[in-house]
Structure 1
Amino acid sequence: MSRSSYCSIEFVRELELARHGLKLLKRNPSSFTPCSDGRYLLLGPDNELNHSEISKFSKRDADAYSRYESQLERFCKLMDPLLDSPPPESLQGTSSFQDRFKNKVHISAFWTCLLHQAASLGQKDMVDFMDLLLSPASKVLNNWFETDVLKATLATDAVIGSTANVCTPGSGYVLLHHVMGETNGDRGIWSVHARYVEGGMGSVSMAIGHAAKEAGAHIVTSAEVSQLVVEDSGKVNGVLLADGTRVHSSSILSNATPYKTFMEFVPKNVLSDDFTRSIKYSDYSSGTTKINLAVDKLPEFHCCKSIYPGSGPQHTGTIHIGSESMEEIDSACLDAVNGLPSRRPVIEMTIPSVLDKTISPPGKHVINLFIQYTPYKPLDGSWGDPSYRESFAQRCFTLIDEYAPGFSSSIIGYDMLTPPDLEREIGLTGGNIFHGAMGLDSIFLMRPVKGWSSYRTPLPGLYLCGSGAHPGGGVMGAPGRNAAQIVLQDFKKKLN
């Protein structure tokens, strides 16, 4: 489940995904924010467009924006090696003094490398980098800009998929995380968000599957795993399917969430109490609901209807609804903190069928709404109540109507996925799209939990390869690629 595609260039090149059917469609502009006062903001990979659009609100911000983008690009280059390589070995599970010493050296080298690279940025950039890692996104953006709509548009990347708000410490890092990675070698804040996948995001999985089959892999679908098979020694040597079939393997890679992997698939009383508690009490909370719609016409935004009649640049990228200021985002989050779905939700709308003609009939369109904030267990009702679900969906549609009159009447049908739905149907614990929060206490050496960041687990033969592992969520392929490298390393050790 994704808002856009920002695959790691290493991942795409190594698997030759383009040759296996992956086709990315450029979105330019990449972002559109309509305002209630009749103005709007377009942003994307075109520097001249960005300057012109931001200048409508603030000449000062227009001049500052290119510097802001350049700084984040420098920070992304700094972080790239950390994304595309495994963190140091875990200190846990090592038996000898030599192993423990070696791992301490690895961890020291990890931080030494990071600090050395940060120092190469220059003193000001180094301070700004540390500030970005630790500070709330609101502080970072307020230091750069004065325009509410620009700050709010950028701030959505700092809170997306979480229960945090823009004032949460560490949300500045999440802002950076969402602009990391490359797509087809392109760089830039909006370059990494400026893609649709032709045929939908499932086409990414299809391309990976084709590459795997060409390499000799055998893929079985519709085969639900009920339990991992663990020997008396503690080694994992296969999986038990729901139909009773046993599949044996010396190496098992789990793309499920850490909670589902260790609390549901691993038999009881196999893992230590300390490890079990750390997994059980990790933050899997989510404020995200997804609504997929079929409509009979494109939304007509009143702020630009006379300028761009019909299909236009306002339809190609992510459309930000209900986020004209960071205060609006915070207000929406506060409702969820109090146990209520946001009265004025923050909505990211995308219309991939504008560029991808393979997913809808002529004249019709597919619209995706990525909505925050919706608590897992609302205090004023239940997501299991059809009338409650319908009421919230209509709240979202009515909000869109404020910016695009008549939107509600264009809806042919829709499908709604609340946090419990995402957990039940897709296996996302708590409905969290990142397999766990991306807070400062759960990234890098702390992901998924302290001491187990190297994709290996306390059970020999079992590895984590999904978003619950380093470097976290996002369609970048890095966790799986890094985990595969670790499995190959361990396999080679067995042969020697």
Structure 2
Amino acid sequence: MAVADLAAEFFETELLRATVAAQGIFGTFAGPWSAGTGLTYLLRAAHGTPSFAQGGIGAITQAMAAAAQKAGAEVRAGAEVIEISVKSNVAQGVVLSTGEQILARAVISNADPKRTFLKLTDPSLLSPTFTKRLQNYRMNGTVAKVNLALSALPTFNGLNGNAEALARRIHIGPEIDYLERAFDESKYGNFSRAPYLELTIPSLTDPSLAPEGKHVMSIYMQYAPYKLKNGNWEEQRTALGDTVVKTLAQYAPDLPGKILSHQIITPADLEEQYGLTGGHIFHGELALDQIFTMRPMLDWARYRTPIDNLYLCGSGTHPGTGLTGASGANAAREIIKDIKARR
């Protein structure tokens, strides 16, 4: 079922339908009328309402690192892994860019499936069938990110200065057809000129993120296809940022004059700087043939891989819907089972 149909079954107001339907297409190469997006919505909704971490998202990873260290783990930052060592189809450990080899009973990859098997592992160790299926795994991203530093809180139309109303997620996409038209442009290799936006002003709930009186705004922009029909993302970077600001200015006219600085993160940046193959924020499309028992692919959806002692634990595994921790928790249970069974 298309998420547009699902939303129409429960809601009468077009704006509310569009707001609900957007959660079924966020981060995907699909529009609200695309088949299967209703299931994507339900999968994402199962994880509840997103929350803000005090101190920013980095505070979560810092807390996880502290907990791991307390339990006896060694955490090494800035240690780039360039290869997963494999002998007789068993993962032995990893090789760092410095040449150092670290041996381990299990290698657990939070990288996406393609990066894990096609870049960090020698593909010749995999069966041709597995490699071909992995190459066909769809993970070209459609999301760009724009971060703004603001001199003051922008004034949104209709809120009468109610800053509290801006403290949660802000949805820009007034109609189902608006969302569908935004998707249409990406199908032909263009970024949306009237994009669907999801934004937050996290400094409203966490003042530590900005100096007193100032704010930061975090914006997800969709659709921004990884592969552009004309030019490249370095050439289109400024145009994308201008489009986002222009779109927001329709709802907050004084926003452009309050921008102190900006950061534009394209799908190409997500791949090159953050290691997300294809710039896909979910490590692969959340589509009917790439979720549940088929994530990342049929026969290999329980965090194990064709290489013994090598596991996946990132968003390219079930449930694969972002920063929920569910994939890692599920993987940990399976890994513990295997380690205990080998004793």
TM-score (norm 1): 0.68
User: Percent of counterpart pairs with the same letter?
Assistant: 36
Residue of structure 2 in register with 1:346 after alignment:
196
> How far is the alpha carbon of 1:266 from its aligned partner?
0.5
> How far is the alpha carbon of 1:376 from its aligned partner?
1.2
Q: Distance in 2 between matches of 1:290 and 1:218?
A: 32
Residue of structure 1 in register with 2:28 after alignment:
162
Is 2:116 the partner of 1:261?
A: yes
Residue of structure 2 in register with 1:174 after alignment:
40
Residue of structure 1 in register with 2:155 after alignment:
300
Q: Could you give the per-residue CA deviations for residues 182-201 of structure 1, whole angstroms, max 9, x where no partner exists?
A: 5xxxxxxxxx23x2111111
Q: Distance in 2 between matches of 1:474 and 1:143?
A: 27
Is 2:52 the partner of 1:196?
A: yes
The one-letter amino acid paired with 1:209 is A
> How far is the alpha carbon of 1:382 from its aligned partner?
1.6
Conserved? CA contact 1:235–1:459, under 8 Å? yes
Residue of structure 1 in register with 2:217 after alignment:
367
Q: Could you give the per-residue CA deviations for residues 322-346 of structure 1, whole angstroms, max 9, x where no partner exists?
A: x110000000000110111101011
List alignment gaps of at least 5 residues for structure 2: none
Conserved? CA contact 1:253–1:462, under 8 Å? yes
Residue of structure 2 in register with 1:325 after alignment:
175
Q: Distance in 2 between matches of 1:377 and 1:470?
A: 26
Q: Secondary structure at the match of 2:95?
A: strand
> How far is the alpha carbon of 1:389 from its aligned partner?
1.2
Q: Secondary structure at the match of 1:369?
A: strand
Residue of structure 1 in register with 2:2 after alignment:
136
The one-letter amino acid paired with 2:99 is G
Q: How many residues align?
A: 343
Q: Distance in 1 between matches of 2:176 and 2:47?
A: 25
Q: Secondary structure at the match of 2:254?
A: coil
Q: Distance in 2 between matches of 1:460 and 1:372?
A: 38
The one-letter amino acid paired with 1:257 is D
Q: Could you give the per-residue CA deviations for residues 335-360 of structure 1, whole angstroms, max 9, x where no partner exists?
A: 11011110101111100000101111
Residue of structure 1 in register with 2:333 after alignment:
485
Where do 1:399-414 residues align within 5 Å?
399-414=247-262
Residue of structure 1 in register with 2:71 after alignment:
215
Conserved? CA contact 1:435–1:473, under 8 Å? no
List alignment gaps of at least 5 residues for structure 1: 1-134, 183-191
Q: Distance in 2 between matches of 1:455 and 1:178?
A: 20
Q: Distance in 2 between matches of 1:473 and 1:289?
A: 17
Conserved? CA contact 2:171–2:198, under 8 Å? yes
Q: Could you give the per-residue CA deviations for residues 59-116 of structure 1, whole angstroms, max 9, x where no partner exists?
A: xxxxxxxxxxxxxxxxxxxxxxxxxxxxxxxxxxxxxxxxxxxxxxxxxxxxxxxxxx
Alpha carbon RMSD of aligned pairs, Å?
Answer: 1.1
Residue of structure 2 in register with 1:469 after alignment:
317
Conserved? CA contact 2:304–2:311, under 8 Å? yes
The one-letter amino acid paired with 1:383 is W
Q: Distance in 2 between matches of 1:468 and 1:399?
A: 32
The one-letter amino acid paired with 2:152 is K
Q: Distance in 2 between matches of 1:145 and 1:315?
A: 23
Where do 1:14-33 residues align within 5 Å?
none
Q: Distance in 2 between matches of 1:399 and 1:168?
A: 24
Residue of structure 2 in register with 1:282 after alignment:
137
Residue of structure 1 in register with 2:234 after alignment:
384
Superposed structure 1 runs of 4+ greater than 4 Å apart? none
> How far is the alpha carbon of 1:275 from its aligned partner?
0.4
State which of 313, 319, 322 in structure 1 corresponds to 2:164.
313
Conserved? CA contact 1:162–1:285, under 8 Å? no
Q: Distance in 2 between matches of 1:404 and 1:319?
A: 12
Q: Distance in 2 between matches of 1:282 and 1:430?
A: 11
Q: Could you give the per-residue CA deviations for residues 437-496 of structure 1, whole angstroms, max 9, x where no partner exists?
A: 11111111111111001111000010001111111122221111111111111111111x
Q: Distance in 1 between matches of 2:240 and 2:76?
A: 38
Is 2:303 the partner of 1:455?
A: yes
Q: Distance in 2 between matches of 1:471 and 1:347?
A: 24
Q: Secondary structure at the match of 2:315?
A: coil
Q: Secondary structure at the match of 1:139?
A: helix
> How far is the alpha carbon of 1:433 from its aligned partner?
0.9
